[in-house]
Amino acid sequence: MERVGVVGCGLMGAGIAEVAARSGYDVVVVESSTERADAGRGRLEASLRRAETKGKIESADAVLARIRVVTEIEELADRDLVVEAIVEDEAAKTALFRELDRVVTSPDAILASNTSSIPIMKLAVVTSRPSHVLGIHFFNPVPVLKLVELVPSLMTDAETTARARTFAESMGKEPIDCQDRAGFVVNALLIPFILSAIRMFESGFATAEDIDRGLVLGAAHPQGPLALADLIGLDTTKAVAESLYEEFKEQLYAPPPLLARMVEAGLLGRKTGRGFYTYS
């Protein structure tokens, strides 16, 4: 495996492209418009310049030379593995997987999703190669966090999973195995925790600051659940919660009304400058 494709150059897509290129892979990233491609290219360059300044890589230019950011999905035709990293929306992802199945020519190529909650089978069945589809779920920030969740569906063959594990380990990641259930391991545990904190804040039980300080100082968490929701993005938090609720019909997965209103208002956390906290 030498040629990697990534669809989407937002925070997650750019992070995946960066760690792949830093590990020596030839990387093509596809974005939906010239403006988004330019923004993604700038995000990659800024991150790599920081890594070079901190001594984490020898040359940002050498890594950037292994990455092309384009707007034509046909550029993925020769890839050995393609990772989808677009918006957490089932309809958008299934439409993309139909396109990838058409575009990627090698029958042995792996089509992977970075979804944090959508069952992989729903993506695999729209392709002609469900045995070569699985989830490879990275965590934000991708260059820093080592965990990767490997999520084969009922149709994924063992060789595909083994190749995906080798790919993850080649980038210094530590994969864990997950069953194909909405939320996988981490989000199935994390999202109810965050939703509980939102309900506590919504009810007036405690301030956002005190909820977060309680978990940081009392449970040794690196940051509180509301600050973490802002980092993840409240729209993504809501989308994952909805996927979990659809799968399990458990009330603890239902998004609280406050979360829905904040998303409707465009208060999405760090990426918009305001969520449970205000960011400059």
pLDDT 10s digits, 248-280: 999 999 999 999 999 999 999 999 999 999 998
Catalytic choice (84, 88, 149, 242): 149
Q: Where are the alpha helices (DSSP H) in 125-268?
A: 158-170, 186-202, 208-219, 225-232, 234-248, 257-264
Q: Report whether pLDDT(195) > 90.
A: yes
Does the annotation count 137 as an active-site position? Answer: yes
Looking at 159, 177, 195, the residue that finishes a domain is 177
Percent of the chain past pLDDT 70, that is, above it, reads: 100
Could you say which of 18, 31, 137, 243 is catalytic?
Answer: 137
pLDDT confidence of residue 117: 85
> Where is the domain boundary, 126, 155, 177?
177
Q: What is the pLDDT averaged over residues 217-225?
A: 97
What digits encode the pLDDT tens for the residues 145-157? 999 999 999 999 9
Number of domains in the chain: 2
187 is catalytic: yes
The CA angle 253-257-121, to the nearest 5 degrees, is: 35
The verdict on 111 and 240 lying in the same domain is no
Output the pLDDT for position 109. Answer: 98
Which of 158, 88, 147, 175 minimizes the C-alpha distance to 123?
88
65: Cβ–Cβ under 8 A, 6 or more apart, which residues? Answer: none
pLDDT at 147 (0 to 100)? 97
CA distances to 20, 160, 214 from 3, rounded to whole Å, are 10, 16, 46
DSSP codes, 217-257:
HHH--SS-HHHHHHHH-HHHHHHHHHHHHHHH--GGGSPPH
- 38-97 residue pLDDT tens: 999 999 999 999 999 999 999 999 999 999 999 999 999 999 999 999 998 999 999 999
Average pLDDT over residues 166-194: 96
Domain membership flag for residue 277: no
Measured distance CA(91)–CA(68) in Å, rounded: 27
**Catalytically annotated residue among 117, 153, 187, 243:** 187
Residue 91 burial class via C-beta count within 10 angstroms: exposed 0-12, middle 13-18, buried 19 and up: exposed
Domain boundary among 112, 142, 177: 177
Which sign does the torsion angle of CA 260, 261, 263, 269 carry?
Answer: negative
The tens digit of pLDDT for each residue in 86-129 reads 998 999 999 999 999 999 999 999 999 999 889 999 999 999 99
